[in-house]
Amino acid sequence: MKNNGNGTPRGISRGVFYKGKRLKFEEDCIILLVTICVVKGKCAMCKEKNIENYNKHIKGVLISEEEIKAAVAKAGKDISDAYDGKPILLVSVLKGAFVFMADLCRAITVPCEIGFMCAKSYYSGTVSAGVVKITMDLEYDVSKYHVIIVEDILDTGRTLNDVVKMLKARNPLSLKVITLLDKPERRVVDFKADVSLFTIEDKFVIGYGLDCNEEYRNLPYIAEYNSSIE
């Protein structure tokens, strides 16, 4: 077999390559291994910092997982008792209420169906009048159902107020609103939910479907977000 002039058979390399550069087989490989270890160490440190940064924005738990479970179970029983034998359509306006919707529908022991909507609101400042644009509509004829809108949090009430008006115009058999959280201090329109599981102060809350920049939705409880920390 012909060789490469250095005692190595042609086609066989005595070195290794890292980032396109051929390294000497011994001391350079040691450098390579050290470099890889340092990079991995830095990645682990970055991950720890990200988790630390994530957790430090959770200021404190306002409503525990156990309290939420108990309230949702009671709401499910009340709906089951009130609508037994009636066609129920649970409607969630995405996407904050998806966790509440999932738990509530499983707490209901009578037949029910679910539907989802997406809505965008356009308002000017504190003016209560505005435009709500439906970006994803229901695939149901609501005139055949008792509609229950399942909401995550009721604050200004503007969007939900307009969604309710829109659905009522479609002549459902009945329509009610159940909200997980109610912040009456934030209301700018005359609107009340039929059922509110928890009334809270005007605080920025996260968890159980509620987010901050799409994070914290997976928390099993409701917490206050610490916005004073960067």
Cis previous bond, 95, omega within 30: yes
Label residue 90 exposed, middle or buried (CB < 10 Å: 0-12, 13-18, 19+): buried
Active-site hit among 103, 155, 162, 182: 155
**Catalytic residue status for 137:** no
- 10 Å CB burial of residue 98 (0-12, 13-18, 19+) is middle
Helix pair 98-107, 65-83: axis angle to 10 deg: 50
Write down the H helix ranges in 108-157.
none
Which of the residues are catalytic?
A: 155
